[in-house]
Structure 1
Amino acid sequence: MALLRTVDRALDGPWDMIVTEPGACAGPGDLDTLTGFIPAPVPGTAAGALRAAGRWSDAVPTPLHGSDIWYRTTLSGNGREILRFEGLATLCEIWLDGHLLLSSRSMFLAHEIAVDLDGRHTLALAFRSLAQDLARPHKRGRWRPQLATPGSLRHARTTLLGFMPGWCPSVDAVGPYRPITRRGEGGRPTGIDLRASVEDGTGILAAGLTLPAGGGPVILRCDGRESVLTETTPGRFEGRLALPGVALWWPHTHGEPRLHAVTVEAGGETFDLGRVGFRTVTMRRTFADGLSLAVNGVPVFCRGACWTPPDLVGLPGDRDAYAPLLALAVEAGMTMIRVGGTMLYEGQAFHDLCDECGLLVWQDLMLANFDYPTDDPAFRSALGSEIAQLLDRLQASPSLCVVGGGSEVEQQAAMLGFPESAWRARAVEAMLREAVAARRPDLVVVPNSPSGGDLPFSTNAGVTHYYGVGAYCRPFEDARRAEVRFASECLAFANVPDPVSLTEAGLTDPRDPAWARFVPRDRGADWDFEGVRDHYVGALYGVDPEALRRDDPERYLTLGRAAVAEVMEATFAEWRRNGSITAGGLVWLYRDLAPGAGWGVVDVTGRPKSAWYALKRAFRPVQAVLSDEGLNGLHAHLINETAEAIDATLTLTFATAAGKAVAKAERALTLGPRATVSLSSATLLGRFFDATVAYRFGPAAHDLAHLRLCRTDGTFLAEAFQFPVGRDAEPREIGLSAAVVDDGGDVVLRIATERHARGVHVMLDGAGRPSDNWFPLAPRGERRLTFIGAERPCGTVRAVNGSEVVRF
């Protein structure tokens, strides 16, 4: 049901906590003889409490699943109250004054308990040893995945985080990691059901709630309009409020994510029911032809990343934890975040913020890789409750658009050679579709990620985990050849953080054996994702990564940062070009789970990496890309996702690395709202020019093509590069310069170059970051960068192919 946000009070203690041997305390009475309790924040985890008490090591996490962990607090009050437990990880007993009230076996279920209070009471939570439970005899699945261990996890409703060797640190999730609240009974709405939809351009708010009988009319209000709800059964009130012309909710790249407050008045009191957004989400083609979404009838290229918790140790779920990371996602132009089945359901604040900032959410069920016992009635019942609670909790969230049946369940079985009758997750899909139809019919259901083709991981159907460019070390051309429809995972690399983050983590030398401990790898594979990154360093720049690592580790890391940036931009340029059949791509992963060169495009401290900056350029809502069409020349593709027309000037220049222009075209044009334009190099130049060096009439006349899109007043919008004869990264004098200047009252860094500059990167001496980094500059080009978190910055500017170190 929708959250009633004005009446529940946090039961935040103070709490204390103790770790005991399994079974050492049968009940809370046995705790009185124990010493060693520590303060414990709630919501929070046992690992977080240990860290706050100075008894935790990130390098060697304390195993917790093998212990019992007790929390306790004093609860005072009089009369009947409802205690609500939003999330208890994982095997938890709830005790009040020595009486067992409830036992929970799922990390993903919320519980409500009515209690009668009369003064001071002792509330205790016993988190029993999950390791002991997993060690007892269980029915084995038909397959045993490589991802996680032990196999008995298929029976447990807990996160796989901490159970995936080589994938994430072994941090055990134990404790009341989501809020515990209390509220009184009576006088307030319960059983609240809010549904926002759009019918023929009119917003429709359907509401249902239960209130004590009497007290006059029950009035629903939204967007300055109101409707009286009808009492359909004693105490149950229902009705609809039509809102013609209501402002719709949009992804932030396409419009304003408008939200509307909803209240209900009854008996002279007004109750806040939260906010809703009005939008439609529809499929543009059949799922077999590939997931493709339209919001409010407008096609949206879904780009973003797969989410990880803000802090693996404490598992926070508040706004302060989510807001900085989601702000970076918005700044990078992401339109979608996927919460995958290997993670956990995020807190309400996560979804509230996504609603507010216009980020679409793809939410998986917490199922991944295992052969789950869906034939077990108890398992099915728990999973059914989990799905229902999830959809009820998010029933008014406009950002939620896709729900998936989990991650790589079908793929795991299919890759082990099982027939379709075994790998198709029909039972979970049926449960999910039935629940969505009943509770959130506006959502798109994806059976599993990946799924949809003759094999679940086929790239040219449904949704795929595309690692052709990436883990499988395919050339850039594979991004088109694979006919990717929608990549719900893609482009995983061991992305190198900035030097300041490496220094803080004590990981400055990639030759140090400690470095390898933090490089992600698939369990059982004889390669890791640093090797994947190194492959593209060699392929792009013509160097030997191993020799470079040995002889010049700083240069090795620099080229590694530059390579992943170029791969990210090139892949998404292919997918976003006009005529592409790809409708979305979500990078694996958004944020690292540990220090070092992890999958994240944002490091564990929250600092963006080179890949994040590349995605920020690749994801621009107003974008310009170039595509090599072989004998048909070079094509310029212009994209305007905004609702406003843009008068612009397009310049296409073919130049040598030294800056000599050998061909050039310029054109004024208007980009219509939410429109695309494609122009060939022949059309722009008005003559033949071997723009792609496909005809090979002698040596190539140019080293690079540069496409630049500006407003007619000169304001920079977007640019793209294409390199027909390769990417020379040999350092040489390129005429790089940098200076801090005042630009209309703003402090900016002006960077210029005489020759083409590759991988231009800014390193600040202190705090802050530039608005862009790891970008190319055209010959005789310049960029003006602003700074976040630095008033008057100083530092250095370098280019991957430049020998200069420029201080500013």
Structure 2
Amino acid sequence: MARIRAIDGAAPRVVDGPWQLLATQAGACATPADCDGRDGWIPAAVPGTAALALREAGLWREAQPAPIHDQDIWYRAPISGSGRERLTFEGLATNAEIWIDGDKILATDSMFRPYTVEADLTETSELVLCFRSLAASLARPHKRGRWRPRLATPGSLRNARTTLLGFMPGWSPVIDHVGPFRPVTRQTGAPCEADLRASLDGDVGTLAARLRLPGSEGGKAVLRCGGCETILTEETPGLFVGELTLPGIAPWWPHTHGMPVLHAVEAEIGGQRLLLGRVGFRSLAMTRPFEQGLSLAINGVPVFCRGAIWTPADLVGLSGESKTLRPMLDLAREAGVNMLRVPGITLYEADAFHDLCDEYGILVWQDLMLANFDYPHDDPAFRDNLAAEIAAFIDRTQTSPSLCVICGGSEVWQQASMLGLPRETWSGGFPGETLPGLVADKRSDLIVVPNSPSGGDLPFSVSAGVAHYFGVGAYLRPFEDARRAEVGFASECLAYANVPEPESLRRADLTDPTDPRWAAGVPRDRGADWDFETVRDHYVATLYGADPDRLRREDPERYLALGRAAVAECMEATFAEWRRARSPTMGGLVLSWRDLAPGAGWGVVAHDGLPKSAWYALKRAFRPVRARPVRRGAERAPRPSHQRNRRACRGDPAPRFP
């Protein structure tokens, strides 16, 4: 169901406490009463995480993060009331118990779905949340999967609905995410429901609505949008349905192709006014079969999708507030980014992220929170949990025109195929067979991609479906490979240890690349004898004839300057190849948008929010129109289809990363 922002001006109220937090040994307290009288309670922000509260109290440091998953974390807050209320918990990380006035009313086991409970409140009621030790849960015996990825440990994470952030050494800081990281809200009265579906056919917009408002039986219902209105029909008592047709409505476009126009929606039912947010009218289609490479058209116009893999704007508190997200999205829009991919190793973003992407005209590719592991889709409890989180996500983004792709996860199919498992054991299944139906039930306008990468006979065939392309990059290939590979759509590409600007390095006290602390900020694949600084150094040597090892020791300032220049040149040259007129490539998303820690990480934006040389390169490469000289004869015809198919069957050499 779509979000109802307010009824008669009243929005859901936030349980603002004041909240307190207590960390105990795992299992030390069975009930809230066991925590009473204990020392150590500290103030806590909700929404927020335990790490954020402990940091504010001076008990935890981001630079040297102490573990939290090995403890039980308790939150408590007064919640006075005078009757029955509905409490909604929009994000609890991860194994949580909800207690009201000493009674446990619900236990949860997913970070990725909201939970709603009803409770009778009094003037002295108290709400308590207990987050049981995730480490203890993961240590219990679990059924093993058919493979163990190197990306994250332990293997029992395959059974847990929690973020992989903090479990991927070399990829992200080891920060444990525990607590009510999304709002806790309260409402009275029977629940209301809104189902809104916006579509565009030519220049005619249609808004279909199904609105349920208990207590309004027999009343008049009017739906308003774009300066027009229509009377809704009462299909059953309290359920009002209808369609509003909007000829000549201003459509929603990605900002690189037009204006991302949004239109306010409201309804009046039985004298009550419902604010239903904003919608954008756009059409979305694929311009060629998926097996030839993902290719999107918005409102009938093919769009070259350019952007990056999104990383959380606040890794400690997981803030979903506009004030935290807006600076990162401002930089994205300024750089010409028209697509961001939320990968399966992170978490579903907050409502504010999607509202801002709608406003800014930035398309959103959303992975399910599934990555690399052999997930137990045959377990009914796991499957039901996953279906519930998908439904909840699509409900709250139902009116979002920026959402365009739902993907079944990251590198699950690739991981299995690289281990030599037969295709029938890893393809299809939940993402290939069940996911399309779940999405179509609520948003038939979205494109469903089964996995990233996928689409060819082997998932890592770069010319088919969606690919993770690192030919120019980790494979150390020349720029010409970006053309020869005939990439269809790179849903992940161009990962380098991007050197921050001097000001960012000064702020982090990381000005010397020979300092042992420098290596901690360089991403690497687990167990590999190389890192992504090695990749950058290769292009420094190739492009400028320099000796990176000698420069690092003898002239570190020039070493860093050439490193900045090399990644910028790689970014620009690759996208220039992909955006030429006869290129088969229809999109490229760089790994990644922002660093999760100080240092030379994958991000094109540094940990402190300052752009790097790669950001400036992408800003040039992503301009709406780019003129680039091409020598005569360079625009050769594409390979015959039988040659392309033979390459797809053969695939690239097995990637050197998970």
TM interval, shorter chain, is over 0.9
Letter in 1 for 2:472: V
* 2:151 maps to 1:160: no
| Separation of aligned partners in 2, 1:194 and 1:586 | 30
SS at match of 1:458: coil
Q: By how many angstroms is 1:431 displaced?
A: 2.1
* Alignment of structure 1 residues 213-612 onto 2, 5 Å: 213-214=216-217, 216-612=219-615
Q: By how many angstroms is 1:214 displaced?
A: 3.5
Equivalent in the alignment of 2:125: 121
Letter in 2 for 1:79: G
| Separation of aligned partners in 2, 1:517 and 1:632 | 43
| Separation of aligned partners in 1, 2:553 and 2:633 | 39
Letter in 1 for 2:172: C
Equivalent in the alignment of 2:12: 8
Q: By how many angstroms is 1:33 displaced?
A: 2.5
* Alignment of structure 1 residues 732-747 onto 2, 5 Å: none
Equivalent in the alignment of 1:765: none
Q: By how many angstroms is 1:629 displaced?
A: 4.9
SS at match of 1:402: strand
* 2:81 maps to 1:77: yes
Equivalent in the alignment of 2:618: 615
Letter in 1 for 2:561: T
| Separation of aligned partners in 1, 2:619 and 2:174 | 32
Equivalent in the alignment of 1:202: 204
Moved more, 420-429 or 216-225: 420-429
Q: By how many angstroms is 1:280 displaced?
A: 0.6
Are residues 631 and 303 of structure 1, via their aligned partners in 2, closer, same or farther at CA, if it must alter by over 3 Å? closer
Letter in 2 for 1:585: G
Equivalent in the alignment of 1:133: 137
Equivalent in the alignment of 1:191: 193
SS at match of 1:120: coil
Equivalent in the alignment of 2:95: 91
Work out whether residues 218 and 237 of structure 2, in 8 Å CA contact, stay in contact via their aligned partners in 1. no
Moved more, 210-219 or 406-415: 210-219
Equivalent in the alignment of 2:61: 57
Work out whether residues 45 and 315 of structure 1, in 8 Å CA contact, stay in contact via their aligned partners in 2. yes
| Separation of aligned partners in 1, 2:129 and 2:123 | 20
Work out whether residues 66 and 132 of structure 1, in 8 Å CA contact, stay in contact via their aligned partners in 2. yes
Equivalent in the alignment of 2:182: 178
Q: By how many angstroms is 1:2 displaced?
A: 1.2
Q: By how many angstroms is 1:216 displaced?
A: 2.7
| Separation of aligned partners in 1, 2:609 and 2:333 | 14
| Separation of aligned partners in 2, 1:602 and 1:215 | 55
Equivalent in the alignment of 2:649: none
Work out whether residues 498 and 614 of structure 2, in 8 Å CA contact, stay in contact via their aligned partners in 1. yes
Q: By how many angstroms is 1:269 displaced?
A: 2.5
- Unmatched tracts of structure 2, length 5 or more: 637-658
Higher helix share: 2
| Separation of aligned partners in 1, 2:630 and 2:495 | 23
Q: By how many angstroms is 1:421 displaced?
A: 1.6
CA deviations on 1:13-69 (whole Å, 9 max, x unpaired) are 110001100011101111112111111000000001111111121221010111000
Work out whether residues 149 and 163 of structure 1, in 8 Å CA contact, stay in contact via their aligned partners in 2. yes
Equivalent in the alignment of 2:647: none
CA deviations on 1:695-736 (whole Å, 9 max, x unpaired) are xxxxxxxxxxxxxxxxxxxxxxxxxxxxxxxxxxxxxxxxxx
CA deviations on 1:126-184 (whole Å, 9 max, x unpaired) are 00000011000000000000100000000000000000011111000100001111111
| Separation of aligned partners in 1, 2:524 and 2:431 | 29
Work out whether residues 573 and 626 of structure 1, in 8 Å CA contact, stay in contact via their aligned partners in 2. no
| Separation of aligned partners in 2, 1:379 and 1:632 | 50
| Separation of aligned partners in 1, 2:402 and 2:478 | 35
Are residues 513 and 630 of structure 1, via their aligned partners in 2, closer, same or farther at CA, if it must alter by over 3 Å? farther
- What is the TM-score of this pair, normalised by structure 2? 0.95
- Unmatched tracts of structure 1, length 5 or more: 634-808
Work out whether residues 409 and 425 of structure 1, in 8 Å CA contact, stay in contact via their aligned partners in 2. no
SS at match of 1:626: coil
SS at match of 2:82: strand
Equivalent in the alignment of 1:702: none
* Alignment of structure 1 residues 705-716 onto 2, 5 Å: none
Letter in 2 for 1:3: R
Q: By how many angstroms is 1:117 displaced?
A: 1.7
| Separation of aligned partners in 1, 2:152 and 2:592 | 18
Q: By how many angstroms is 1:266 displaced?
A: 1.7
| Separation of aligned partners in 2, 1:458 and 1:524 | 24
Letter in 1 for 2:254: P
CA deviations on 1:378-409 (whole Å, 9 max, x unpaired) are 10110111111111111100000000000000
| Separation of aligned partners in 2, 1:632 and 1:302 | 22
Letter in 2 for 1:593: L
- What is the TM-score of this pair, normalised by structure 1? 0.77
Letter in 2 for 1:55: L
Equivalent in the alignment of 2:642: none
SS at match of 1:33: coil
Moved more, 434-443 or 413-422: 413-422
Work out whether residues 96 and 130 of structure 2, in 8 Å CA contact, stay in contact via their aligned partners in 1. yes
Q: By how many angstroms is 1:415 displaced?
A: 1.2
Letter in 2 for 1:436: V
Work out whether residues 374 and 428 of structure 1, in 8 Å CA contact, stay in contact via their aligned partners in 2. no
Which of 1 and 2 has greater Rg? 1
SS at match of 2:528: coil
Q: By how many angstroms is 1:524 displaced?
A: 1.4
| Separation of aligned partners in 1, 2:112 and 2:433 | 20
What is the alpha-carbon root mean square deviation over aligned residues?
1.2
Equivalent in the alignment of 2:643: none
| Separation of aligned partners in 2, 1:222 and 1:500 | 48
* 2:43 maps to 1:46: no
| Separation of aligned partners in 1, 2:243 and 2:112 | 32
Q: By how many angstroms is 1:632 displaced?
A: 7.1
Q: By how many angstroms is 1:200 displaced?
A: 4.1
| Separation of aligned partners in 1, 2:312 and 2:324 | 9
Letter in 1 for 2:623: R
| Separation of aligned partners in 2, 1:106 and 1:516 | 34
Q: By how many angstroms is 1:627 displaced?
A: 3.1
| Separation of aligned partners in 2, 1:65 and 1:632 | 55
Letter in 1 for 2:72: D
| Separation of aligned partners in 2, 1:629 and 1:44 | 58
Q: By how many angstroms is 1:414 displaced?
A: 1.1
| Separation of aligned partners in 2, 1:97 and 1:226 | 47
Work out whether residues 76 and 118 of structure 1, in 8 Å CA contact, stay in contact via their aligned partners in 2. yes
Q: By how many angstroms is 1:425 displaced?
A: 4.4
| Separation of aligned partners in 2, 1:280 and 1:632 | 32
Q: By how many angstroms is 1:537 displaced?
A: 0.3
Q: By how many angstroms is 1:443 displaced?
A: 0.3
CA deviations on 1:319-368 (whole Å, 9 max, x unpaired) are 01110100100000011000010110000000000000100000000000
* 2:32 maps to 1:34: no
Letter in 2 for 1:195: R
Work out whether residues 81 and 182 of structure 1, in 8 Å CA contact, stay in contact via their aligned partners in 2. yes
SS at match of 1:627: coil
| Separation of aligned partners in 2, 1:240 and 1:272 | 17
Percent of residue pairs bearing the same amino acid type: 65
| Separation of aligned partners in 2, 1:417 and 1:58 | 40
Work out whether residues 484 and 582 of structure 1, in 8 Å CA contact, stay in contact via their aligned partners in 2. yes
Work out whether residues 32 and 128 of structure 2, in 8 Å CA contact, stay in contact via their aligned partners in 1. yes
Are residues 12 and 632 of structure 1, via their aligned partners in 2, closer, same or farther at CA, if it must alter by over 3 Å? closer
